[in-house]
Structures are given as structure tokens and as C-alpha cells.
Structure 1
Amino acid sequence: MFLITTSIFFIYFGILFWYSNAIYYSKRLKNVTYNHNVSIIISAKNEEYNLPKLIKSLTNQSYPKNKYEIIIANDNSDDKTEELLNQYKKTHKNLRSINIDQTPIGWSSKKWALTKAIEASSSDIILQTDADCIPRNKWIESIVTCFDDANVNFVCGPSYLSHKESFLDKIFRMESLVQEAMNAGSLENNLVLSCTGRNIAFRKEHFNSINGYVGSEHIQSGDDDLLLQKFALKTNGRIQYSINPESLIESKAPINFSSFLKQRLRYASKGLYYFTIKTTLEFKTIIIFLYMINTLFLVLLFSFFHYGNFLYTLPIFFKIAADFLISFIFISKLNQYWSIRAFAVLSFLFPFYVTIIGLLGPLIKIGWKDK
């Protein structure tokens, strides 16, 4: 049994080595073009405190102002979101807003808001981010340049969680970047795993051709990864990951670990839907394999403490070494700081919360703004 377990972890190491190699040799697109008109889509619900930074970052983009528009869907906010949007529209001509007063029965409010914003857009290229995000100055051009390849119809970009300078912040940042590394490594090898709605882009014509979120419209989350899966299954184009420091987006981290767990429970709430709606075979295989790896990690850890046999640490070493390799290469590619302390803590914390949240997520209903 131990040999089988060790072999499984060795396979994990091999897969992540394969991913890491693809990330390391990935080439950044250097020829910046301004060939595309772009619509930036955001759903905002009670975001009065986040809107100023968001709008400042979006209106200060290097992309020509006459080539992009910003559409913010005010999702039934009861704070000063609408008032702020009306003020900003007076000084920023490429900023538009729509008010969502009611969500149809059977629809996630966020997906409905995004759908209406996309309908109101005038461009073929849609960039999507969240209201609590801060894109870099060259974000638009770094993502949109990927669409110079006519075969590309969906682009994923990197993002990380950040709140304030603290050790917890370093853990949040490391955790989000490690997840992005897995997504990037998969796509660099033409395997479609996941993405985050904080930083995605797609062609509007293909979004419309697959009926957008229809089929998963009732699921609270999944406006990102489930849409990605739908693109992978129903369109013939290529899906690309932009491993570029200029593509990086900073997102506001949860204020504490409890809020972080609630956020992750919301993400995991769609876990069962991965198998009841259409997703790619490699996606199903990878998430089952990753869940098994993290569960076995805990079994080995407890076995080591119970029996005191150091052999149990050999498979654990394979996993930590693989995680180190892919995270270090990916984070270095993005010119970000790699924290050895945060990585060490996360290496042992991650399997616990993945296993627990993976079990509880589908059983606990947490809405979009339940933080």
C-alpha cells in the first residue's frame, strides 16, 4: 500500500514538473497592438469603498481611450454605489453603468448582472474583472494582444489576493498564486483546468454562440471556471494563459481567515456541479486526482505522527518539492516576491482546508456577498 501511495505522489511530482517546464519556457507576447475594441465588464454590489481605486486603475490604462469602454452593472446595491457611478460618468466618457433592480428566478444575481452588461457592450472582446480588483497600467494591452491570434477565443490572466502587509496576507497571496500556477501549467499544456473571474477575457460572439451562462445560471459561483469549461467544450478556438507581469491583477483579500474560509466555501459550493453539468474529462480527472493527493497527504502526516516512521514523509516530500517548483517558477515569471515562510505554512495548511472545504462546500449555501 505504501508503494502505491508513493507512486501516486511521484506521478503528482511528474505532472507538476511537466507544468513547471511549460511555464518556464512560455514566451511573453512582445508586439503590442491596439487592433481591438474592448469592453471591460464588472458586476458591483455594495462596492462604494472599492470603486474609486478600481475606476482610477481602469481609466489610467495605457490602451487608447477611444478603443475601450468600461461597463459596470450595479447589482441592486443599497449603498452609494449608484451615486458614485453617476459622478464618475461625468468625468470619464468611456465609463457606462447599468442598474440591475431585479434578478429573474433561477439566476445567480452576479451572472445576471454580467449577462446584462455583456449585452450592453459594443465590442467583440470582453474583459472581465471584479469590483474589488486593481489591474496594472498595461493590463488591457497585455491581455488583448493574445487575441491577435485569430484562433484564441478565451484568455485567462493571473491574480492574487492582497489586503495589508502581514504574514496572513503573504499566505493569502501565496495560496492564490499557487492556484494560478496550476491553471497556467495546465493551459500551457493544452489542458483546461480552471480560472478566476478576476481576470478573464473572451470573444463576445463565442459567448453568445454558447448561450453564455445558460446551463449554470442557477449556481452562485462559476461565472469563471464553468464558463471556461463551456468554451472548451463548445467552441473550437484556443484558450490561452497570459503569463505576463503586466497582466497581473491585485484583488482585495478577505479581512481574516474566517472570511477566507467562507469565500472558499462559496467557490467549492459548485463542486458537485462539476460532475452533473458538462465539463472536460481532463478537468474531472485532475480535480479528483488533486483532492486524492491532499487527502492522502493528511493520512500520511497522521501516520507519521502516530507510528513515528520517517518513510511516511517520503511521499510528502514529493508533494512539497513539486509545489515548490511550480510556485517558484510561476511567481518568478510574474516578478513577484516568493515567501519561503508562507510557502512552508501553506504546504501543511492547504491539504487540511482543501479536504474539509471540498466536503462541506456542496453542503453549505453561501451567497455572492456573504463574506
Structure 2
Amino acid sequence: MIIFAIIVLKTYLLTILKLCSGIYYDKKKELKTYNPFVSVIIAARNEELSLPKLLKALTSQNYRIDNYEIIVVNDRSTDKTAEVVNDFKKDFNNIKLINIDSTPIGWSNKKWALNQAINKSKSDILLQTDADCIPGKDWIKSMADYFEDTKVGLVCGPTPLVHKDLFLSSLFEMESLIQESVNAGAIKNKLYLSCTGRNLAFTKNVFKKVNGYIGNEHIKSGDDDLLLQKIATKTDSKIEYVLCPESIVVSEAPSNFHNFLKQRLRYASKGLYYFQSSTTFELKFFLILLFLTNMIFIISTFSLLANFKLIPLYLILIKAFADFLISSIFLGKLKKNWSLLAYTILTILHPYYVLLIGLTGPFLKINWKK
């Protein structure tokens, strides 16, 4: 058992070192004069409070206002979401509103909403974000530049979570960016692990080529990572991850632990799909490696507390060092502060959360929004 644990942790360390190299040696892409027409798509349900901040950020981009459109899909909202969008439309004629009254049987609400935006979009280049997000002024530019290479089919970007409470904000931001660091390193090494629809871009051509969301349209989440898997396995399109501060899209963290847990359970609800679909052997191996590493970390922690021995401490330190390395390199690329306190807390708690979410998420039904 001890030998097995050591092999798993050393394999994890070597894998993370490989992912680190992809991030560390990535060269910053200078913003070019390439300014294609793009469509920004947003699915919104009862977002009257969040939408003004997002639309203000999107209409203030360092990008020609006549070179992009903003499509907001009002997904059965019962608040003033539509009114907010219509108020902005009075001043910006590049904003479009699509109202949805119902979702067809067999479709998840969010995927149906996004699908309507994609069908109505004018551009082949689609930028996707969520209604509770705030992109920086160069977001559109930083994402659109990658599509100058016509072989690029999908582009991912970082989305740190923030909270109005300063301490919680540091925890949420660090937690989200640690996960993003693994996604980024994996993509840089052509291991297409995951991405988030809060900061995503893809071409309509590639979307149609993989038949869009068809095949997983019924799954509550997965408008982002499952689309990534389809594009990675069914096309030869390039997939990129943008590693620069300009590409950051900030997202509001859940207001409390219950909502956070519900959000992450929804993310994990399609976990089994990774093993049932045509995902690569390397990806499946990596997911199992992550699970085993966290399980061994927890067992080692209890073993260390029960009877201090060097081997459990050794195993704990291997994982802690690997996570420190990849997160610090990633945050450095984004010019984000690395918090020792937040990292220490997350190092202790995160493995429990990963196992809890990973084991229960696929078997629970979690809605996007009621």
C-alpha cells in the first residue's frame, strides 16, 4: 500500500511538472491589429442585478463598437432582465435581446438558450461569458486575436472568482485559479481536461462540425467542457488557453457555502460522461490520478495525526509542492498575487471537497436555475 501511494504521488508530481512547463514556456501573445467581427453570447436568467455591470464592461471594450455584437438570451426570467437589456439597447445598437418562454423537452435550459444565440449570431467567432461576470477592457481583443490562425477552433481563458468579503475573496480566487492552472497546463500539453463557459471562445464552423450540443444537450451543465471534449476528439482544430492579464474575466463567487456546493455539484454532474464518451485514455488516466492523489493525501493526513511518521508527511509534501509550483507559475503569468494563507487553507480542505464532489456529483440532479 505504501509503495502504491508513493508511485501515485510521484506520478502526480511528474505530471504536474510537465503541465508547469507548458505554462512557464508559453510566450505572451502581443495584441495585434487583427480585429475580426465577433459575437458575444450570454444566457441570462433573473440577472437584473448582475447584467448592468457586465453590459457596461462589454460596451467599454478597447475594440471597435461596430466590430462586435452582444447577444443576450433572456431565459424565462421573472425579474427585470429584459428591461435592463432594452435600456442598454437605447444607447448601443450592437446589443440584441432574444426572449425565451420555454425549453424543449430533452434540452437543458442553458444549452438551449446558448444555442439560440449561436443560431442568431452574425459572426463565425463566438465569445461566451456568463451574466454575473466582468471582463477586462481588452478581453475581446485578447481572445479574438487567436482566431487569426484559421486552424484555431476553441480558446479558453482564466476566470477567478471574487467575493465581497476580502478574506473569502482571497479563498475563492485562489481556489478557482488553482483549478484553472491545471486546466491551462493540460491544454498547453494537448491534454484537454476542462474549461469554463465564463471565459470561452469558439467558431460557429467548428461548433456545427461537431453537431453543437447534440449528444449531451440533456446534461444540465457541460456547455463548456463537454464542447471542449467534442472539439478535441472529433476535429483537428487547435485549442488554445490565453495566459495574459488582459484575458481575465472576473466572476462573482456564490454568496454562501450552500450555493458554492450546489454550483460545484452541478459542474461535477457530468463526471461519468468523461469515462463513457470518446475522451482519450490519457485524460481518463489523469482524472483517476487526481482522484487517487487526493484520496492518498487524506489518508496520509489522518495517519500523520494518529502516529507521526515520515512517509505520510513525505506524501503530503509531494502534493503540496506540486500544487504550489503550478499555481504560483500560473498566477505569475496572470500577474495575480499568490496568498500563502489561502493556499495553506485550501491545501488542507481541497482534497476533501474534491472527493465529496467527485463521488456525489454524477448521481445528483442539480438545475442551472429554476
| Pairwise TM-score range, normalised by the shorter structure | over 0.9
Report the secondary structure of 1:222's partner residue: coil
Instruction: Indicate the residue corresponding to 1:307 in structure 2.
Output: 307
Partner Cα separation in structure 1 for residue 334 and residue 47 of structure 2 = 28
Partner Cα separation in structure 1 for residue 194 and residue 252 of structure 2 = 20
1:6 is displaced (CA, Å) by 1.3
Instruction: Indicate the residue corresponding to 1:148 in structure 2.
Output: 148
Give the CA RMSD over aligned residues.
1.1
Report the secondary structure of 1:212's partner residue: coil
1:60 is displaced (CA, Å) by 0.3
The answer to whether 1:36 aligns with 2:16 is no
Report the secondary structure of 2:118's partner residue: helix
Instruction: Indicate the residue corresponding to 1:124 in structure 2.
Output: 124
Partner Cα separation in structure 2 for residue 58 and residue 200 of structure 1 = 15
Partner Cα separation in structure 2 for residue 283 and residue 197 of structure 1 = 20
What count of residue pairs does the alignment treat as equivalent?
Answer: 370
Does the 8 A contact of 1:34 with 1:64 survive in 2?
no
Partner Cα separation in structure 2 for residue 79 and residue 280 of structure 1 = 43
Instruction: Indicate the residue corresponding to 1:211 in structure 2.
Output: 211
Partner Cα separation in structure 1 for residue 201 and residue 140 of structure 2 = 10
Instruction: Indicate the residue corresponding to 2:181 in structure 1.
Output: 181
Does the 8 A contact of 1:19 with 1:189 survive in 2?
yes
Question: Which letter does structure 1 place at the counterpart of 2:227?
Answer: L
Question: Which letter does structure 1 place at the counterpart of 2:27?
Answer: K
Instruction: Indicate the residue corresponding to 1:106 in structure 2.
Output: 106
* Mapping 1:192-203, distance limit 5 Å: 192-203=192-203
Partner Cα separation in structure 2 for residue 317 and residue 252 of structure 1 = 32
Report the secondary structure of 1:71's partner residue: strand
1:31 is displaced (CA, Å) by 4.2
Partner Cα separation in structure 2 for residue 347 and residue 287 of structure 1 = 18
Distance 1:138 1:31, change over 3 A: closer
| Residues 16-64 of structure 1 deviation map (CA, whole Å, 9 limit, x = unaligned) | 1111122111011114123411000000000000011000000000011
Q: List 4+ stretches of structure 1 deviating above 6 A.
A: none
Does the 8 A contact of 1:33 with 1:141 survive in 2?
no
Partner Cα separation in structure 1 for residue 90 and residue 278 of structure 2 = 44
Report the secondary structure of 2:69's partner residue: strand
Partner Cα separation in structure 1 for residue 238 and residue 285 of structure 2 = 21
| Residues 104-134 of structure 1 deviation map (CA, whole Å, 9 limit, x = unaligned) | 0010000000000000000010000000000
Q: Which moved more, 1:223-232 or 1:158-167?
A: 158-167
Question: Which letter does structure 1 place at the counterpart of 2:283?
Answer: F
* Mapping 1:1-371, distance limit 5 Å: 1-369=1-369
Partner Cα separation in structure 1 for residue 114 and residue 278 of structure 2 = 21
| Residues 311-331 of structure 1 deviation map (CA, whole Å, 9 limit, x = unaligned) | 211011000000000000100
Does the 8 A contact of 1:51 with 1:131 survive in 2?
yes
1:157 is displaced (CA, Å) by 0.5
Report the secondary structure of 2:207's partner residue: helix
Does the 8 A contact of 1:127 with 1:202 survive in 2?
yes
Unaligned runs of 5+ in 1: none
Partner Cα separation in structure 2 for residue 109 and residue 165 of structure 1 = 31
1:148 is displaced (CA, Å) by 1.2
1:159 is displaced (CA, Å) by 0.7
Unaligned runs of 5+ in 2: none
